[in-house]
Structure 1
């Protein structure tokens, strides 16, 4: 054992150290590899030592989400509401991209910790500070959904996560011909852009571009509704 490793093991254990180590372990080995036993091994302690700082695995995951939330930039002082919201969402997205497991964990959480609630409250506050009514802000939050955390459900997400079967150019040409005959509109849209293989939106689509494109559409729409004095009462059809 090196002197450096021994020195790390002698650092007093606390909640921040446990959570930081859990984030690093998930980053390096994946969220499925995270367990209280494995985390204790990484910290050089017995598993029971962890329970003085986190009650169980669920509380550990909640705390890891808090670490991610803590990485998101605060609202930019003096910026207009649109810029402040856009920058904050893109900061949240950068945090999620640094931690590939974070989206899965965020989607699994049913408990709202003070850190999560604080972020949501501050996020809502950017719209209210920009002059949005509580009514419009309520519907804005529904429209944004998970985008406030830097991700969104994508049309082709499930299929993109499956590894494509290797094909020859001849086989691919036949596949395109069949698609063109049976599903011409899908093919036209799917081949409309130059693609990169690392995408999760659709094979080769620029994920960041697509995320920002949709975000800007939403922000533009929110701004228009705000300027028009939109209210949900006026928008609801008469029965």
Structure 2
């Protein structure tokens, strides 16, 4: 039976959970699939392309194809998408590291276009809309990267970070010790996400009449 790209990607994701990104190579993947490396190169030309396809598959599980974001509730679907992406990345070992540095595939660009269109209808210039999407995506990737590193360290050392004795004499950090220890990562993530979205919401309100009168306020002066 001929090797199919979707089988290559699903096998790579399974292998990722077993060996992590550092142990994943095209040679190791070819061996797992029972083929020689040249057969694999018909479907993925490099590890970089493989990671792009793996990242696309992760996001496809989280964000259904064909969704149509609405302009009037852009703050809601941005937050929902961010939470879905975080869950998708956390579902895989080194999920954030796989996604870091990947580029949207040809299949993903229509979904990005739909998001930019919804944000444009909400009042953002397309360039600012794309900046908003990138800022939130990079917040999610950075957050999950730190979160997964934290979780890995906690598993290896099996002890609570920042014990009380370390915080002795530090009253303000003691009051915020639960945040310092990441005891409620969901709440911490939500707080940062909402601050980011509310910042863009405020910017939209401040710049609406300038956008209508002059165009994109983020454009450099002539």
- Measured against the shorter chain, the TM-score band is 0.7 to 0.9
**Conserved in 2, the CA contact under 8 Å of 1:21 and 1:39?**
yes
**Conserved in 2, the CA contact under 8 Å of 1:15 and 1:53?**
yes
Aligned partner of residue 166 in structure 2, secondary structure = helix
Report how many residues are paired: 206
**Unaligned 5+ runs, structure 1:** 1-10, 196-201
| Cα-to-partner distance string for 1:11-48 (whole Å, 9 max, x where unaligned) | 42021211111111112331122122221222122222
Q: 1:157 to 1:43 in 2, by over 3 A?
A: closer
The answer on 1:89 being equivalent to 2:82 is yes
> Which residue, 126, 129, 132 being the options, matches 2:121?
129
1:40 alignment partner in structure 2: 30
Separation in 2, partners of 1:159, 1:40: 28
TM-score by length of 2: 0.72
**Conserved in 2, the CA contact under 8 Å of 1:61 and 1:105?**
yes
1:7 alignment partner in structure 2: none
Separation in 2, partners of 1:165, 1:63: 33
2:174 alignment partner in structure 1: 188
1:13 alignment partner in structure 2: 3
Q: Considering only aligned residues, what root-mean-square deviation do their CA atoms show, in Å?
A: 3.5
**Conserved in 2, the CA contact under 8 Å of 1:25 and 1:39?**
yes
Q: Find the structure with the greater CA-based Rg.
A: 1
Separation in 1, partners of 2:100, 2:181: 23
Deviation at 1:165, TM superposition (A): 6.5
**Conserved in 1, the CA contact under 8 Å of 2:100 and 2:141?**
no
2:45 alignment partner in structure 1: 55
Aligned partner of residue 151 in structure 1, secondary structure = helix
TM-score by length of 1: 0.68
Report the structure, 1 or 2, having the larger helix content.
2
Relative contact order higher in (CA < 8 Å, ≥ 6 apart) = 2
**Conserved in 1, the CA contact under 8 Å of 2:51 and 2:98?**
yes
The answer on 1:103 being equivalent to 2:89 is no
The answer on 1:220 being equivalent to 2:198 is yes
| Cα-to-partner distance string for 1:43-89 (whole Å, 9 max, x where unaligned) | 12222211121112222122212212322325455562122212122
Q: 1:76 to 1:216 in 2, by over 3 A?
A: farther
**Unaligned 5+ runs, structure 2:** none
Separation in 1, partners of 2:74, 2:91: 26
